[in-house]
Structure 1
């Protein structure tokens, strides 16, 4: 068993070795995939397993071809079998790029793309016979994606919002007195004509908070008491 856990890509892996690598890859992909499926992400249970399994099979194929590596004096070329799994790793980058979407300042799918790329590396570890490395990597990924996600509720993060206020004859409104008690800053952007023909001043608001919804409501309520708000929209980032 010790040899099975530590040997790196033997030239003649047994069917037991190959079956164990595939089974462990499916377990690892399923563990991470369940967490992504529960979160309602695009790449969920089955996709994560398939990505890890494809990498594992590519590495197993490279392992089986190791005995053909090299060249003799009769040949001018040699085959680098490790280019095969490296090509799979590169190809997963295109899959990850496909799940990342950006709409204005909102970007989604970054964590999902990173998970797909990471699970490809895990599949390569298992496929190459690095069982301990693959198992530890899977455990670390699960901790990062699940328990550590709770840190988001404890840490304050920066939030942004777009605010448009109707301009009066006195010019661009001053929001410092209203926003200072809420620890929110306002950066003036430009003047714009609103659909009703009136002129509005556009601001970008920034503040730190643990509860984005409650803080946004408080900011909007405070501004609405002294100014005529035409538009208020929160800029968010979802992974």
Structure 2
């Protein structure tokens, strides 16, 4: 029979829900802007990143092993973010969405390592940047050579 430590289950459940909730404003922004990733993607990236970190912390006592798991998350999420970037002639879109996916993984990693202050700051700054800078960006004259076309 499997021995389940219910206090650990509760602790991990709460931790992963914090990662989910902190990613939600970013997801809402991307969804409302009808970007390629949105309301489902961002919370899933955050909660999965958090889950991988929690697993690593539970099964590896060595910080080096935990760091390798985090390194793998960062690399893997970079690959997923790359899928959000589209090039059409001289126009490139999806850069802000890709960066937001990467930032959302960082939120999950921060929550998983119990660095809630970092996770909260990442969530707030990313959301504000997406909300405010899209309005600022609309005031900037268009430049054909610029690659940051994803608001």
**Shorter-chain TM-score: what band?**
0.7 to 0.9
Corresponding residue of 1:22: 16
Q: 1:159 is matched with which residue: 136, 143, 147?
A: 143
Larger Rg: 1
Moved over 2 A (4+): 13-17, 156-160, 235-238
Question: 1:116 Cα shift?
Answer: 0.6
- Classify 1:236/1:126 alpha carbon distance in 2 versus 1 (closer, same or farther; 3 Å): closer
Corresponding residue of 2:4: none
- Classify 1:141/1:236 alpha carbon distance in 2 versus 1 (closer, same or farther; 3 Å): closer
Question: 1:96 Cα shift?
Answer: 1.1
1:178-225 Cα shifts (integer Å, max 9, x gaps): xxxxxxxxxxxxxxxxxxxxxxxxxxxx9xxxxxxxxxxxxxxxxxxx
Q: Is the 8 A contact 1:105 1:237 kept in 2?
A: no
Q: 1:126 is matched with which residue: 88, 97, 111?
A: 111
- Classify 1:137/1:85 alpha carbon distance in 2 versus 1 (closer, same or farther; 3 Å): same
- In 2, Cα distance between the equivalents of 1:123 and 1:143? 18
Corresponding residue of 1:34: 28
Aligned residues: 144
Name the structure with the higher helix share. Answer: 2
- Classify 1:149/1:25 alpha carbon distance in 2 versus 1 (closer, same or farther; 3 Å): same
**Secondary structure of 1:82's aligned partner:** helix
